[in-house]
Copies of this chain bind each other. A is one copy, B any other.
Amino acid sequence: MSLRKTYYFDSNATTSVAPEVLQAMLPFLTEKWGNPSSPYRLGKSLVEPIQAARESVAALIGASFTEVIFTSCGTESINTAITSCLYAQPTKQHVVTSAVEHSATKNCCAALEERGYQVTYLPVNRDGSLDLELFERSLQPDTAVVSIMWANNETGVLFPISKISAICRQRGILVHTDAVQVPGKLAIDVNELGVDLLSLSAHKLHGPKGVGLLYVRKGTPFRGLIVGGHQEERHRGGTENVPYLVAFGRAAELAHAVSADSQRKLAGLRDKLESDILREIPQTVRNGAKEPRLPNTTSIAFAGVEAEALLMLLDQVDICASSGSACTTGSVAPSHVLTAMGLSPAEARSTIRFSLDYETTEEDVAYLMSQLPRVIAELRAAASPRAVARLNSGKLATQAV
């Protein structure tokens, strides 16, 4: 690994494990290695740390500790939420979701369609927003669950979850939200949101990769996806990953302690980066609405630039960013999120997501802006004359917001 500083603008992909989190979990990889279900001290002594972690993650989202299930990742949480609603209500065979969900929801739904279930994928507007009237018309008597993300991982655009929940509650339809990108960036209160199920992942909030959370509101019918022993009140089998549960608890405490002031500061830094790019680099456009949006994310199309080439050049100067979800990397298709918003494949392929974090500093943003205009200019200069001519026709510039 390089000893040079990394300028990390990809916090929506993952975050580092916080030192406090690592310290909290390490004893459970060394001397405290028992099985929490065992009847002797080496095992039983692990019950209390797990309970403390459970209370910390519940507190982060305003839930009771009896309403949270530890899972192995956000993807498992999301798959469990959607299938549970179907299996627990066997006469209902229909799912409503959006066209811009993370692949965990998108591909879970595709697999369910293959098995005979019906899924409605709601379109979004150019700014990434949902049409709530269209949403309401999509609901059917046999709709088992509406699964809509709170914050889009590529654009940061927020969906009106509490409005969606209110509409569904009137009709007796369960609501799940993928809130994986939200902790530490917005305050989370499951009662304000009104959702029945909510998914989180520890590695987006300085916990380790490999542990997630599923909130299930008290009284919600539930069927587990991973069924085995009595762990998690029989809602999720498998010997508890004690180190990571403890780690998630500590990470949740850190995320919960983030102040509204810090969140405003983060938004300010992101806004500065975004406006600097849009002002200093010609033919750039932000994808998605300015508000409501996560305070840390900006998605920008750089006309005429291939995102993959740009990311490679940025990496050479120690800047980490992404062209969208890490979970779809390697795909030849352009981002389904951006194309659902009406971007052309070429526009989608010219898009970079910058996602900041509390660790991001003004100096980091200044460094990024010291490199980015030059790199973009180089890439555009290297493009074919025909591409440049097409570019200079100004098609994209008219779309700038």
Contact = CB atoms under 8 A, between A and B. Distances in A.
Interface of A: 1-2, 6, 8, 10, 13-17, 22, 29-35, 37-43, 45, 71-76, 78-79, 87, 90, 102-104, 107-108, 110-111, 114-115, 201, 203, 208-211, 223-231, 237-244, 308, 311-312, 314-315, 319-323, 325-331
A77 to B, nearest CB: 10
B209 A210 contact: no
Contacts of A241: 72-73, 208-210
Nearest to A224: B111
A104 B320 contact: no
Given A228-B79, A228-B107, A327 B210 contact: no
Contacts of A32: 1
Contact of A13 (B38, B203, B244, B320): B38
Contacts of A224: 111
B39 A238 contact: no
A190 to B, nearest CB: 23
**Most chain B CB within a 10 A radius of its CB, from A13, A114, A211:** A13
Contacts of A73: 72, 226, 238-239, 241
Contacts of A331: 230
Contacts of A76: 72, 226, 238
Nearest to A21: B29
Contact of A111 (B31, B110, B114, B227): B227
A223 B111 contact: yes
B108 A38 contact: no
B229 A325 contact: yes
A14 to B, nearest CB: 4
Nearest to A237: B75
Contact of A40 (B39, B43, B210, B320): B320
Contact of A31 (B1, B13, B35, B208): B1
A329 B115 contact: no
Given A32-B1, A312-B39, A231 B327 contact: yes
16 contacts: A1-B45, A16-B33, A29-B208, A35-B326, A37-B326, A38-B322, A40-B314, A42-B320, A72-B76, A72-B238, A104-B229, A107-B237, A114-B223, A210-B210, A210-B244, A230-B330
A175 B72 CA distance: 26
A346 B74 CA distance: 43
A103 B229 CA distance: 5
A239 B29 CA distance: 21
Contacts of A240: 209
Contact of A327 (B13, B37, B320): B37
Given A210-B244, A325-B229, A38 B103 contact: no
Given A103-B237, A223-B111, A33 B14 contact: yes
A208 B323 CA distance: 33
A30 B239 CA distance: 25
Nearest to A331: B230
Contacts of A38: 10, 13-14, 320, 322, 326, 329
A30 B22 contact: yes
Given A39-B311, A39-B329, 16 more contacts: A2-B41, A13-B37, A17-B29, A22-B30, A37-B326, A37-B329, A71-B72, A75-B238, A102-B228, A103-B229, A103-B237, A110-B227, A111-B227, A210-B210, A210-B239, A231-B327
A210 B208 CA distance: 12
Contact of A226 (B10, B79, B102, B114): B79
